[in-house]
Amino acid sequence: MPYLICEDCGNYYELEEGESPEDFQLECDCGGELGYYSTKYDYYKNHRSKPDSQIKSGQESPENKENRNKGFFSTLDAQSKGFIAVGIFGVIILILLFGLSGISSSISPSYLDMMPPEIQAAHAPILVVLYAPRCSACRQFESETLNNPDVQQKLSAYSVMKINVDSSPEQASRFNSNVIPTMVLLDANGKEIRRNVGYMTSSDFIKFLKT
């Protein structure tokens, strides 16, 4: 609800529904002029640089003195406090989102230690393919997708490591995948960027490679 607030002593009247400033004589009992404000917060924001405007002839109303002693936030109405709380909550959420993103990136495991020396020395993004000869989807991915000329061109900028989950189960277990084929894209430091589980067409795989 809006308010009529004295510009001198700070006393206020909360307008009821259907009332307007025109219904009142805009003069306080103390002789000060009544101002129209949507919320108490608007009043205090307008007067925070003019603390002397709340005092007339060296006197201050008991209510205004009590509010001043309580502090700025305690003098606000529920609506104003709600606006401030929503703003603070939004800032906290943004901090958490960006902060957790950075933390997640910094603690994600690196797989560079399990790569052959030539891949470690290449300093290029790495594609890891988990497969098994018995897997029909793996064979299809090898013959139709990896051998596609457009895919071959894209892969020229990557180091590729294929891991047979049957013959190298310990290596494969590092990637915590129980489905083949699984494609894991790593950055040059061996940290995971993204992964895909299951067969992909050439066009889908090219999209997958984009960083």
Is it the case that residue 110 has pLDDT exceeding 70? Answer: yes
* pLDDT at residue 19, rounded to an integer: 77
> pLDDT tens digit string along 38-47?
787 777 777 7
| Top-ranked range on mean pLDDT: pick from 7-21, 44-58, 60-74, 109-123 | 109-123
Rounded Cα gap, residues 25 and 69, in angstroms = 30
Q: Which of 7-11, 17-21, 60-64, 123-127 has the lowest mean pLDDT?
A: 60-64
Average pLDDT, the chain: 81
H or E, element range at 160: strand 159-164
Q: Examine residue 169 and say whether the peptide bond preceding it is cis (omega within 30 degrees of 0).
A: no
Q: Which of 48-57, 76-85, 116-125 has the lowest mean pLDDT?
A: 48-57
Q: What integer is the mean pLDDT of 147-164?
A: 96
pTM of the model: 0.50
Rounded Cα gap, residues 136 and 189, in angstroms = 32
Q: β-strands 3-6, 34-37: how paired? A: antiparallel
Rounded Cα gap, residues 10 and 38, in angstroms = 15
